[in-house]
């Protein structure tokens, strides 16, 4: 709720304080880079230390603190700093949190467990923007106050995290120092199946820019603030409702199959976004985008956790998430540049085209039968 309350208004707020579309792309890129490097490092640190819960608690605390910081000052460097603190918090908690989910599941229920997590997480992404929509209806353009209000659910998330039971894993005591980039060494020692899967995921991530650009696109097409936030709420509602059942279906049909279907839907959405359309067409595209998210985000982590050793779960997911964030940094910066130089149509069509190439890769690349589950 805390993060997603601000997400749909972030591009509008940034433009209102003087950020260009290029600078927004760079900001999102730098933020994702910060999250990326920290996801890998703290995922590795979680495995090495054998601890999970403290990383989750610290991660949520930093993200909560960053919310009011965004509204205190509007200087570009301060905005970059506050946004970086938010993403650092995400990086600290991601690997450990996903490892907790994996430890509580079996190989046959990974899709279900990760799908349930995405469903609950995204339900917050429905309630948060819904509150923002109601607030802005009564207080138009009062964006700053929302950043202070978002601190409240952020603080509640921190308090809730203290309800987690602390479990310490059995670890080798000789490794006490963990270099910041040590997680990158996992790539060399990881299973070959892991590397082949992650390569495909990263190529896709390299062209999958921030959702901010989708919101800017519909804003550019003539939708007002209320409609932009409303359509984002709709997307998250679809995502939340479908993530859990799609995860259950993926456990039965195969994680790989469902993931490929999700990528195909993504390509359709981006092709559709390349054209000016009516509100109803955009609603349809965001509906498909919600299904895409349900079929990929939790599924990819479930897939990875099934093809790696349990003792390396946080490192494996953290390494993938970290490299994915680096690719997202490049993707957001590249999309911002292409949009600025050639227009939104070229930016969206090029992304859709690369996505179809990734679909072909996953369809033709041989994977061990165990990976499809």
Return the axis-axis angle of helices 110-138 and 225-253, rounded to nearest 10°: 170
- Give the integer Cα–Cα distance in Å for 86 and 73: 16
Query: What are the two backbone dihedrals, phi and then psi, of residue 370, each rounded to the nearest 5 degrees?
Result: -65, -25
Which of the pair, 79 or 151, is modelled with greater confidence? 151
Query: Residue 234: CB partners within 8 Å, gap ≥ 6?
Result: 283, 286, 287, 290
- Say which residue the tokens 């790696």 belong to: 308
What's the confidence (pLDDT) of residue 358?
94
Taking phi first (over 0 means left), then psi (-120 to 50 degrees means alpha), and beta for anything else, what does residue 208 get? beta
Q: Is 179 part of any domain?
A: no
Percentage of residues of the chain with pLDDT beyond 90: 31
Q: Is 54 part of any domain?
A: yes
Q: Is 172 part of any domain?
A: no
- Give the integer Cα–Cα distance in Å for 74 and 319: 33
Q: Give the mean model confidence (pLDDT) for residues 92-108.
A: 87
Q: Is 176 part of any domain?
A: no
Q: Hey, what are 72's tokens?
A: 């205190």
Q: Hey, what are 17's tokens?
A: 């304080």
What's the confidence (pLDDT) of residue 178?
62
Q: 261-279 pLDDT, tens per residue?
A: 999 999 999 999 888 778 8
Q: Is 353 part of any domain?
A: yes
pLDDT at 175 over 70: no
CA dist 47 → 30, 40, 232, 333 (Å): 26, 11, 36, 32
Q: What pTM value is reported for the model?
A: 0.77
Question: What CATH number does residue 73 fall under?
Answer: 1.20.1250.20
- Identify which of 168-182, 236-250, 315-329 has the greatest average pLDDT: 236-250
SS (H, E, C) the chain: CHHHHHHHHHHHHHHHCCCCHHHHHHHHHHHHHHHHHHHHHHHHHHHHHCCCHHHHHHHHHHHHHHHHHHHHCCCHHHHHHHHHHHHHHHHHHHHHHHHHHHHCCCCCCHHHHHHHHHHHHHHHHHHHHHHHHHHHHHCCCCHHHHHHHCHHHHHHHHHHHCCCCCCCCCCCCCCCCCCCCHHHHHHHHCCHHHHHHHHHHHHHHCCCCCCHHHHHHHHHCCCCHHHHHHHHHHHHHHHHHHHHHHHHHHHHHCHHHHHHHHHHHHHHHHHHHCCCCCHHHHHHHHHHHHHHHHHHHHHHHHHHHHCCCHHHHHHHHHHHHHHHHHHHHHHHHHHHHHHHHHCHHHHHHHHHHHHHHHHHHHHHCCCCHHHHC
- Give the integer Cα–Cα distance in Å for 156 and 161: 9
pLDDT band at 370 (very low <50, low <70, confident <90, very high): very low
How many structural domains are present in the chain? Answer: 1
Q: 185-225 pLDDT, tens per residue?
A: 778 888 888 888 999 999 999 888 878 788 888 888 888 87
Q: Is 97 part of any domain?
A: yes
Q: Is 40 part of any domain?
A: yes
Q: Is 169 part of any domain?
A: no
Q: Can you give the length of the chain in residues?
A: 373
Q: Which domain holds residue 255?
A: 2-163+184-372
Mean residue pLDDT across the chain: 85
């Amino acid at each position: 709720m805390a993060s997603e309350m601000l997400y749909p208004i972030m591009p509008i707020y940034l433009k209102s304080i003087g950020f260009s579309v290029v600078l927004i792309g760079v900001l999102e890129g730098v933020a994702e880079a910060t999250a990326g490097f920290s996801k890998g490092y703290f995922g590795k640190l979680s495995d090495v230390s054998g601890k999970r819960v403290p990383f989750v608690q610290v991660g949520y605390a930093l993200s909560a603190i960053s919310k009011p910081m965004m509204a205190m000052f509007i200087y570009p460097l301060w905005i970059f700093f506050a946004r970086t603190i938010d993403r650092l918090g995400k990086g600290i908690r991601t690997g450990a949190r996903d490892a907790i989910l994996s430890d509580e599941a079996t190989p046959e229920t990974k899709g279900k467990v990760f799908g349930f997590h995405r469903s609950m997480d995204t339900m917050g992404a429905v309630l948060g923007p819904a509150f923002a929509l109601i607030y802005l209806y009564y207080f138009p353009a009062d964006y700053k106050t929302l950043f202070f209000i978002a601190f409240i659910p952020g603080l509640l998330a921190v308090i809730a995290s203290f309800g987690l039971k602390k479990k310490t894993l059995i670890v080798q005591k000789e490794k006490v120092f963990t270099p910041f980039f040590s997680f990158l060494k996992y790539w060399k020692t990881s299973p070959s199946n892991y590397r082949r899967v992650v390569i495909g995921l990263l190529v896709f991530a390299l062209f999958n820019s921030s959702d901010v650009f989708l919101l800017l696109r519909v804003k550019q097409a003539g939708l007002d603030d209320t409609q932009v936030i409303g359509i984002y709420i709709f997307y998250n509602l679809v995502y939340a409702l479908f993530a859990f059942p799609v995860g259950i279906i993926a456990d039965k049909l195969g994680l790989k199959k469902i993931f490929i279907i999700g990528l195909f839907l993504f390509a359709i959405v981006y092709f559709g976004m390349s054209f000016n359309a009516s509100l109803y067409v955009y609603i349809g595209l965001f509906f498909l985008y919600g299904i895409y998210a349900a079929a990929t985000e939790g599924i990819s982590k479930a897939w990875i956790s099934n093809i790696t050793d349990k003792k390396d779960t946080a490192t494996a997911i953290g390494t993938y998430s970290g490299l994915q964030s680096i690719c997202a940094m490049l993707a957001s910066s590249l999309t911002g540049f292409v949009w600025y130089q050639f227009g939104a149509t070229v930016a969206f069509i090029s992304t859709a085209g690369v996505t179809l190439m990734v679909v072909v890769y996953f369809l033709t690349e041989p994977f061990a039968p165990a990976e499809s589950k």
